[in-house]
Each structure stands twice: as structure tokens, then as C-alpha cells.
């Protein structure tokens, strides 16, 4: 029997014996050990200035995670857009920021596809008003995350979010924070946390901060966190995640308890960068 066929049969038998999770991790480790393409490095330098701010160990982690992410996730162009390598790498670099420093990286397990539009896209939604009347509304969006395995992004907004590092707005971070939240099912602003004790503290802090943002939004007061975060707890978590990565100093000064919870959730301290 040729050695190649024997090797394939051995791998199939090994996967059957030890189970799919072991085989998946073995395959991912092989991907992480591959040389990082020079073309991808040039794209990071040109399109993702955030990358150069990271410490060298986190840069290495990010590149390794990108190799797995890009091998496992499909990209689909919408409204006539042809997806390029530049688009894939730019999106992956920002999404994988959320995966750094984890003991076990799950790589957004429910996500299978990233749909990319040239710019903002329109969706039709049904909404029940306060009188109980069902109304159809058209919304213009820059991104959306679906629990059934898809993230939808505007390429124009993705580029702007990557280029403008310190404005606290990043559509990729926002939508992939939703993906973390949706891993356990319906998004409610509480991703997987390391312990029940951490979960209880998380709930107290996040509920208090969410209520404060709602009050300030109702009064029309200017806030560090976008008023869109006052929509519901899931949007609050996504909006706070954007600010955590892009404006860590302001967040730590104005909302220290919130910063601490996000730092524990993401296993990162952007202030040290």
C-alpha cells in the first residue's frame, strides 16, 4: 500500500479513536505553525495599524489565530462584491483580537460564513410599538451578527474601523463580540465566564453600567459609550467591547469597574500596550 494512502488511513483511524475535538486541535496546531504569508504581513501594515501597537507576543498569537480563522471560515461577497485577500486578512485580524490570551481558543464555533457588502446595507425588520401595533421598518446597517452562523459586514465600515484606531468605533469588534455572546445561544450581554463568582460580579457591574447609560441616553447627555449600547444588554456588551479595545484609557478612567470586567473577560489589559 502506498505510504500516502497509509498515512491518510492512519489519520482517519486516529480521528475515529480519539474523537473529533482532538483531531480538530491537531489540525489547528498544524495551521498555527505554518509560516505567516508575507503578503498578509503587508496587508496588516497597510490596513490594520492596531497590529503594530500590540506587544510582540500578542502579535505572534494574533497571526497564528488568523491562520486558523482564515482556513475555517468562508467569505462571501454580496451585492456584486468580489472578496479579495485584503478583505479576508483585514477582517480576520480585527476579529481575532477577541481571541488573544485564551487557554482554549474556540474560534467562534457557531460561525461558518462572513458576508461582506461593499457598504452599508438595508434590512427589513418587523417591530411592535408601544401600542402593540406591528410595523415594518427598513434599517441601514454597517454590520450584523446572526446566531445561526453568519456575520454580515460593510467593507467600507470595516476599513474605516480598522484605520481609525482611537475613535471607539469598530464594526468588526462589535459584531464578533456578539458572536462570543451568542456561543451559548441567545445573546444577552453575558459571554462564557470562567466561574459562577465571576458571573455574579459581571452581572452586577454590567447591569449598573447599562442602567446608567440608559439614563444618560434618555437625558441626551454625551457619553464615552455610544447611546446605541442602551438598546439592550447584548448591544451594551458589544459597544463596551469596541471602547475597551480602542479607548482603554478613557474607559478605565470613566468606568473602572466596567474596564476591569472586560479585562477579565478578554484576558487582556490594553492599557499596558
Close Cβ partners of 49 (under 8 Å, ≥ 6 residues apart): 162, 163, 165
- Average pLDDT, integer, range 167-185: 94
Q: What pLDDT sits at residue 181?
A: 94
pLDDT of residue 140: 77
93 vs 70: CA distance, rounded Å: 10
Q: pTM score, two decimals?
A: 0.87
Q: Quote the pLDDT of residue 134.
A: 54
Q: How much is the average pLDDT of 263-268?
A: 95
Question: Residue 125 above 60 pLDDT?
Answer: yes
Confidence (pLDDT) at 205: 97
What average pLDDT does the segment 142-160 reach?
93
Q: Are 166 and 247 in contact (CB under 8 A)?
A: yes
Q: Is the pLDDT of residue 247 over 90?
A: yes
Q: Which of 147, 153, 142, 145 is nearest to 176 (CA)?
A: 145
pLDDT tens per residue across span 199-210: 899 999 999 999
Question: Which one is predicted more confidently, 98 or 130?
Answer: 98
**Nine cell digits for residue 6:** 497509509
Q: What is the mean pLDDT of residues 124-144?
A: 65
Distance CA 43, CA 85 (A): 9
The pLDDT mean for the chain works out to 89
What is the rounded distance in angstroms from the CA atom of residue 101 to the CA atom of residue 84?
29
Q: Which of 85, 83, 87, 111 is nearest to 98 (CA)?
A: 111
pLDDT at 13: 55
In order of start, what are the domains of the chain with their CATH numbers? 25-164 (1.10.472.150), 188-273 (3.40.390.10)
Using a pLDDT cut of 90, give the percent of the chain over it. Answer: 74
Q: Which residue has the higher pLDDT, 86 or 142?
A: 86
Phi, psi torsion values for 30, nearest 5 degrees: -65, -40
Q: What is the pLDDT averaged over residues 243-247? A: 97
Q: Identify the band that residue 245 occupies on the pLDDT scale cut at 50, 70 and 90.
A: very high
Name the residue with cell 487557554.
103
Rounded Cα distance, 45 and 225, in Å: 28
Distances (CA, A) of 170 to 121, 158, 226: 17, 7, 12
| CB 129 within 8 Å of CB 121 | no
Amino acid at each position: 500500500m502506498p505510504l500516502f494512502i497509509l498515512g491518510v488511513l492512519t489519520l482517519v483511524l486516529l480521528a475515529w479513536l480519539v474523537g473529533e475535538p482532538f483531531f480538530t486541535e491537531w489540525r489547528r496546531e498544524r495551521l498555527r505553525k505554518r509560516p505567516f504569508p508575507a503578503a498578509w504581513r503587508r496587508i496588516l501594515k497597510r490596513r490594520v495599524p492596531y497590529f503594530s501597537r500590540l506587544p510582540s507576543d500578542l502579535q505572534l498569537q494574533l497571526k497564528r489565530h488568523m491562520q486558523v480563522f482564515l482556513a475555517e471560515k468562508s467569505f462571501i461577497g454580496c451585492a456584486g462584491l468580489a472578496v479579495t485577500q485584503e478583505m479576508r486578512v483585514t477582517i480576520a485580524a480585527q476579529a481575532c483580537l477577541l481571541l488573544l490570551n485564551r487557554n482554549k481558543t474556540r474560534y467562534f464555533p457557531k460561525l461558518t460564513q462572513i458576508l461582506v457588502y461593499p457598504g452599508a446595507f438595508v434590512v427589513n425588520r418587523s417591530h411592535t410599538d408601544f401600542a402593540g401595533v406591528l410595523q415594518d421598518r427598513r434599517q441601514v446597517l454597517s454590520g450584523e451578527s446572526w446566531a445561526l452562523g453568519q456575520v454580515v459586514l460593510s467593507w467600507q465600515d470595516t476599513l474605516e474601523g480598522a484605520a481609525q484606531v482611537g475613535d471607539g468605533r469598530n464594526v468588526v469588534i462589535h459584531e464578533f463580540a456578539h458572536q462570543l455572546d451568542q456561543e451559548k445561544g441567545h445573546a444577552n450581554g453575558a459571554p462564557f465566564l470562567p466561574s459562577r463568582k465571576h458571573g455574579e460580579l459581571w452581572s452586577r457591574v454590567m447591569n449598573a453600567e447599562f442602567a446608567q447609560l440608559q439614563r444618560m441616553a434618555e437625558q441626551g447627555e454625551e457619553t464615552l459609550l455610544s447611546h446605541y449600547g442602551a438598546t439592550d444588554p447584548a448591544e451594551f456588551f458589544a459597544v463596551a467591547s469596541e471602547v475597551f479595545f480602542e479607548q482603554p484609557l478613557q474607559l478605565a478612567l470613566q468606568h473602572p469597574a466596567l474596564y476591569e470586567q472586560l479585562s477579565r473577560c478578554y484576558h487582556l489589559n490594553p492599557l499596558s500596550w
